Structure 1
Amino acid sequence: MKYYERLVDLKCFSRSDVERLTKNKYTADSLIKEYKRKGYIESVRRDLFVAISMETKGPVANRYLIATNILRDNYISHHSAFEYYGYANQVFYEVYVSGEGRFVDFEYDHITYRYVAPRIGAGVSLKEDGVRVSDMEHTILDSINDFDKIGGLEELLRCLELINYADEEKLLLYLEAYHKQVLYQKTGYILEHLKKQLRISDNFFEVCKSKLKSSVRYLYTGIEHEPNTFNKRWKLVVPPDLMKLVSKGADVNAEV
């Protein structure tokens, strides 16, 4: 138990972290084997370990801290970032992780950790609890861009309904970094339904609209086989009434 409390303080750690504690590579290897055998620590994946609480018998690190430590510069993204901020309608048994460090999806403690290639580099911060996460505006754009793969449109809308402010300058900065016309279309269309709640000015939507060209896009794959309508303003094929997809928000889009 000599090093246990220090490992609990670290929560997540690598083999090299244990070597720094013991000052000896061979001692570190022996310690890891012994502590795993006694249930003091568990292996999350190759070269990533977590300390186990003696009280709860579960990992002392939560899913978000574990995800942050998978590889250097990894951060929580997409729906998992909404969860971290407390803006998710549902908590998934998956954690979405982005960053330069790629990894093969894996499962630990009934949670699946999934890698998603980053679209932009800006808008990531390290929080006081050690979690690295995309900021709210980065998260909103990632989630709009990928909702057909992660979470779905209804869950995205429910998450957005819980947010009471979005920084439109950041949104425009990140949209420029994305450099995708269709994302300007989708973002303008979706956020215009929530512009009062998110406190986004009309100027934001005019900037988004100015990026549009003549091409018509679908809000999501497969909508052409469902009831739909053409939104002339955003040149998008969309559901007949977007906000009817969620239980509340019957009058959210009354002025759109």
Structure 2
Amino acid sequence: MKLLRFGPKGQEKPGILDADGHVRDLSDHVTDFAGATVSLEALDTLRSVDVAALPLVSEPGRIGSCLAAVPNFFCIGLNYAKHAEETGAEPPKEPILFSKATSALSGPFDPVIIPRGSVKGDWEVELGVVIGRTALYVSEDDALDYVAGYCTINDVSEREFQIEKGGQWMKGKSAPTFGPTGPYLVTADEVPDPQNLRVTLTLNGETVQDSNTDDMIFTVREIVSYMSQFMELQPGDIIATGTPSGVGMGMKPQRFLKPGDVMEVEVEGLGRQRQVAEAAEI
């Protein structure tokens, strides 16, 4: 299934794509997509719905984040070999874990707002993993059984905030609109191999990131299992699994976002995003 949310910000409705790629309204079957409503059990219930009989949404308008809210917005740092190389960092021996503020969650076509004081805004196409049931002390062999689905994420970052102001990375990752997610939550049964997906990002029409999840240092299986050794993952948690090479920080000379820049972000089979960068209002 390809699940989505459509409508004005704060008034989104749950929907699903039918066999012809049209949006159908799921409001009579689920209130929204977040937490328990994206658990594996809840998704199994939705599979019994006759999609062709659902109300057709001829003009869905704005597409929101595929999740209304997330209990946790986790991220993995330096998880592509070529990205670690471009930043001059040693490939990590264990996954680097950090978080984005959940308030960074944003629609896939909403503007990205460059925050006040920002001089080093950057882009990061990532494969997103949505947890489908409580995971604690999970083995690698079983880890994918805890995944509800996958989505496209742009892990927008402010490198000065992240690196030059000390402390943890979170403050460079968490500004409002820094987490465009979607357009679809694609259920795990439609993604047979999360380690073989093309990931791309264009900036103003120029391809700057073009890689494959097979370059990930730690696989989705390894990430979910590893994280579950330290914390209890919950249904609706999202994990951004790292970005490939081609970020602005790694360019020579470095290149950062400015108002009017257009990012188009895609993970193979999970849908394409488009954001225009805008300056924060003073």
Is the strand fraction higher in 1 or 2?
A: 2
The answer to which structure, 1 or 2, has the higher relative contact order (CA under 8 A, 6+ apart) is 2
TM-score (norm 1): 0.27
Is the helix fraction higher in 1 or 2?
A: 1
TM-score (norm 2): 0.25
